[in-house]
Structures are given as C-alpha cells and as structure tokens.
Chain A
Amino acid sequence: MNIVVCIKQVPDQPTIRIDSERMTLIREGVESTINPLDRVALEAGLHLRGRAGGQVTVLSMGPPQSEESLREALAAGADRAILVTDPAFAGSDTLATSHVLARAISRLRPFPDLLLCGMKTIDSDTGHVGPQIAEELGLPQVCGVNEISLEGDSLVVERLSDGFLDTVEVTLPALISVNRDLCPVRSLALGSLETAFSQGNIARWGREELGLSEEEVGPKGSATRVQRLLTPASTRKGELVNGSPRLLVDRLIGTLEALGLLDEEDG
C-alpha cells in the first residue's frame, strides 16, 4: 500500500513572534516540532504499512528548517521524505498550500493509495488543507477519524461528527484526516534519530520542479489575506471576590443565572 502522510512543522511553544509586514509567523529561533496530529497520522501510516506492506512517504511544505521534522519522520520509520520548499510559497493561504501539495502528490509515482494528515494544526487551526487537497485531486475524504481498518480494497473508518459516531467505508485512493485518539505515538529510538540525521535522504522540490507559476502560489495564489493580527482583547472583567464559602457560592450561582444557565427560581 502506498501511503503519503502530509506533515507540517509548527512552533513548539506559545512564544509567538509575528512578522508584521508579511503577517505571518517568524519561524527562525523558535523551537519547532511536527504538528502533533500529523505525528498521529504518521504513526497510523506506519501501522498500516505494517499490516498491508508498502511504503510510507512523508511530505511537507515549509521553509528549509522543516527538514528537521522530515528527518524525525524518517526516524519514526517513514521510507521516503520530500520537502516542498521555495521562497515563492511563503505567505500561502490554505487554498494555495493545498494546490502546491496536491501538485506534489500528483507527481508521485506510483500515485498513493492513501493520503493521511492530521485533522488540524496547532498554529493555523483551520483544518482546511486536507479537504482542499482531496478536492483538487478528486479524492473522497473522511475527516476526524479515530479508528481505521483495512477491508480488501477499501478502508473502513470510524469518526465522531457532531455527536454521531459514523462507521464509513471509503474506496481508495482517499484522504483521511486523523484525530488524536486514533493511536498512541511512540517515542523515537535514539539510533533511528542518529541514522535519520546523518544518513537520511530528503528530496527537495521547488516551484519550478512542480511546474507552478508564480501566480498560483504565495500571496498571489491565495484567496484570503491576513489583514492584521490581534491578541484577544483583555475583555475579562477580572472581578475578585473574597468571603465565606456561602458568599462565594451565591456569587457563582448568581452568575449562572445571569448567563441563563439556570431557571429563575422563586425560592
């Protein structure tokens, strides 16, 4: 089975620095890691390879330092790693990003049977890229999966969606985005890290290799633009109350009532 896992390198901590010109994150100097849900997707891919045989390719679009995450993916057991990188890609929204990734995937030989990715990233939080890649490649999608099993030529997956637990059969090739609960993530073995960093092979594909024009990528290829970044306004009232437990409880209940969460009482 040919599995492709899309991963993204994301900042490791909430110490965010913003490039106010480009309206994007400054990535240099901040510790980075594989987006946690992508790591789950990778683990799932490795499991499936274990059961069905085949190959796991990891793909990432990002600045050059995303190489580190791809090497970690190799250390985890991926067979092949491809970094899709080009200065022209910077500032791409999800529309442009999915276009670049879809193009890269369409260049893979053989074409994958299964595309896996995390349901969303901890920085952008949108969850758009997976479905948008699926749309461009004309593949069926199932998002938020927490259980996968192989049944012949198709996949049977389970996911919780708006309070419904769906069991879905999807024909391959398809795109599946995964949820945290899908499988536990194993720590990386030290020797594998050593090998992945000293010997691992990372292919690099840029705009020209992918046959993309400048208008298709970056800000020009994007439909949305971040106009400005704000920190959530400190609209918290911050009222502090001291007193007996009785007093505190009464205040709390008063707030519940004010929010309409309790029926008004006469007693």
Chain B
Amino acid sequence: MRFEPTMKQAAIRRTVREFAESRLADAAVEMDRTARFPWDLAREMAELQYFGLEIPAEYGGAGLDAVSSAMVVEEISRANAAMGLCICVHNGVSAYPIYLFGTSEQHRRFLPLLSSGEKIGTFCLTEPNAGSDIASIESTASRRGDEYVLNGNKVFVTNGGISGINLILARVQGAERKGGLTVFIVESERKGLDKGPPEDLMGMRGNPVCPVSLNDCCVPRRNVLGQEGEGMKVALSSLNGGRIGIGAQAVGIAQASLDVSLTYAGQRYQFGKRLVEIETIQKFLADMATRIEGARLLIYRACHLKDRGLDYASESAMAKLYASEVAVEASRRAVQIHGGYGYTKAYPVERYYRDAKVCEIYEGTSEIQRMVIARSLLREIPGSKGSRSEKGVQGHQMPGRQRA
C-alpha cells in the first residue's frame, strides 16, 4: 500500500498545476462571466495531451495511469472547474469507453481524433423523463438493413455545444426492457443530430451544456459501441470511471476553497487578531483539510483498483459521493470565512460554491451513489437478492475486506 505519489506523479501534478495557474486561472473569471468556451486554451491543452489522458500513446494519448489522470483533473479544476469538467467528461465518459469497449477499427477511427482534441467527446444519457432512472430512457433505434435510425431527446449533455463525437444510449426497437439498450457512437456532423442552445447554468459556466436531439439520425452498424443490448453495461462501466473524474474535480474545487481561505484568514484582522488565530475559524479550516484529504484518498483508492483491473464500482461511488459533498461544504465554508467579501465577485469563492453544487448531481446524484454503495453492502448479507450465498459469486470486492 503506497501513500506517496511516485516521482512521475509528483512531476505530473507539478507540471499541470503550473500550467493551470498560469494559463487557466485568470480565464476562469472570464469564462464564468461570459459563459464562453475558450477554444484557444482548449487548443493549447490539446497540444499538451490533456484530451487523451488514459488513451495509449499509439492512438495519440498520454497513456497515464488512473491516479495521474485524477491528479490532472484535480489540478485543472482547482484553477478552472469548468475546464476541468470538459476534460474529465471528454476523457472519462467518452474517450475511455471507446477505448474499453471499441473494436480495433473503432479505436483507429475515433481515438486519434479524441486524443488530439480535434473532436471533443460527450456521453448523452439523460432525457427529460429519465434522469437517475437510466433504464427508462425513451430514445429509440430502429434497425434498417445495415444501419440504425435514431430518434430521441437528450438533455444536459456536458460538452454538448462543442462536441464532435457523441456516445448515445438508445433502445433498439422490438427488444425487451434491458435487452435493447445500446450505445451508439454518433458523429456530430451526421444528419439528424441537432444541438439546442446551451443552458444558462448556476455554475461550470463556459462549459456548453446543451440538449441534443436525434431526428431520424442514421447510424451505421459499425458505430455500435460494444454489442447491441449491452448498452446498460457500457453506460454503467463508463459512469464508474466518470465518477472518479467528477470526484477529482470536486477535490480540486475543495482544495481551491481551502487555499484561498487560508490566505484570506491569514491576512484579515478582526478583534485584534488574524482570523486564523480564532478558534472557530481554525475548526473550519481543520475540517476542510481533513475531509479533502479523505476525499482524495478515496479517489486514489478507486483509481488503484481501476488500474489493477479490479471491480471499483462501489469505491468510485464512495469517492464521488464523498468528494462532491466535501466540495459543497468546503466552498460554502470558504464563502463564510470571507464574510461579506465572499459574497462578491471580487473573490473567487462564490464561484467555487456555485461550481461545486453540480458535483452532487451529475454523473449519478448522491442518492444514486448511496444506492450503489448500499447494494454492494447488501450483497454480503445472506438471503439478500443477489447475495454471494445466493449466487455463489466469488471474490466480490467489499469495502473493508482484504484486497488483492
């Protein structure tokens, strides 16, 4: 069990931090104000391989391990959460699933475009009537010879406004409930894929989150990711990885909140002393620091399992659940510590607070995460549906048990 970053991970973290502080931090204010996506910065980041974090070098990616990748997302998000979101969704739930489930032909066709940042990726899951309840999506795919015709409406697609490649979950017609769900890789320029105007968001402004609708969009068979009917498996697996990214993003926001709070409290005087010398404030800061450490370690644990090829669904759920709640609390505390100034736009903390909230919602709400974790716990109880004794499942990883 190792708790220190390797020399490589330390170097990566430092490199990204320097880049983020010098190139992304100031842009964050502008992005939040105008809600405009900074293409010039995206191009710079693409050249530095931020768009192919865990994709192997043969497809133009950086080939990083999961821990390094999480560090990258954290450091970017610390300076600019909206860019962090772009990177983590593009990498975590778009490029990586194609890598995991795609054929070699799909690898060659799509991965270089995604790794180079030439095309930005999305995963279109949520619909007006299907948020947490993925299985009840209504988008359809009708078989027609060698292709599928897609129809449906997807909402809240992160990176939607700028995407080139979209993973779309739809139900193949004529199949039973779970059997029909399929993930399709749909290029934005395909006729029939239409994007709506971007949402006017509370936070993460600058990321063009928009509705994507499919109107008789024809997609060839070779664009199916995985098998027909495997859509749920692909989606859930993607979300496992995506959760790590969101968790890392949340930790970045929380860390930023702590950093500026320390600076402010170290300089501001009230009642004849600096805020840091006041016990209540010390308690706030201590709690923030402790919880951020905890969140980070949960993330690294999930990454560690992922890198080893072990099941990490529950661990990534824990990481995302905890980190997102830590981010909301830390940013809220940060505003409090800054007092009246914290409520103004002159300080970044109000933006951190607005940015943090969505971490508890997207890629599976905190309620869903708790369900995932509970289900995992319940499997240990004999007599429960799907318990080990019932199904004779071997070697299921449980929190607290011995791990490989």
Contacts and interface: CB of A to CB of B under 8 A. Distances in A.
Direct contact of A and B (CB under 8 A): yes
Interface of A: 12, 31, 33, 67-68, 71-72, 75, 187-195, 197-198
A35 to B, nearest CB: 14
Contacts of A75: 11
B7 A194 contact: no
6 contacts: A187-B15, A190-B62, A190-B64, A191-B62, A191-B64, A195-B57
Contacts of A193: 8, 11-12, 15, 62
Main secondary structure of the interface of A (DSSP, over half): helix
Interface in B318-341: none
A188 B10 contact: no
Interface string B195-223: 00000000000000000000000000000
Interface size class, chain B: 20 to 34
A197 B16 CA distance: 16
Contacts of B23: 187
Contacts of B53: 190
Interface string B1-37: 0000011101110111011000100000000000000
Contacts of B64: 190-191, 194
Nearest to A185: B18
Main secondary structure of the interface of B (DSSP, over half): helix
A191 B11 contact: no
Contacts of B15: 72, 187-188, 190, 193
Nearest to A31: B14
Contacts of A72: 11, 15
Contact of A190 (B6, B7, B10, B50): B50
Given A190-B72, A191-B62, A193-B8, A33 B57 contact: no
B63 A194 contact: yes
A31 B14 CA distance: 9
Contacts of A189: 47-49, 62
Give the 10 A-B CB pairs with smallest separation, nearest first: A197-B8, A191-B62, A190-B62, A187-B19, A190-B49, A191-B49, A189-B48, A188-B15, A189-B49, A68-B7
A191 B7 contact: no
Contacts of A12: 14
A191 B57 contact: yes
Given A189-B47, A190-B12, A193-B15, 8 more contacts: A68-B10, A187-B15, A187-B18, A190-B53, A190-B62, A190-B68, A191-B49, A194-B63
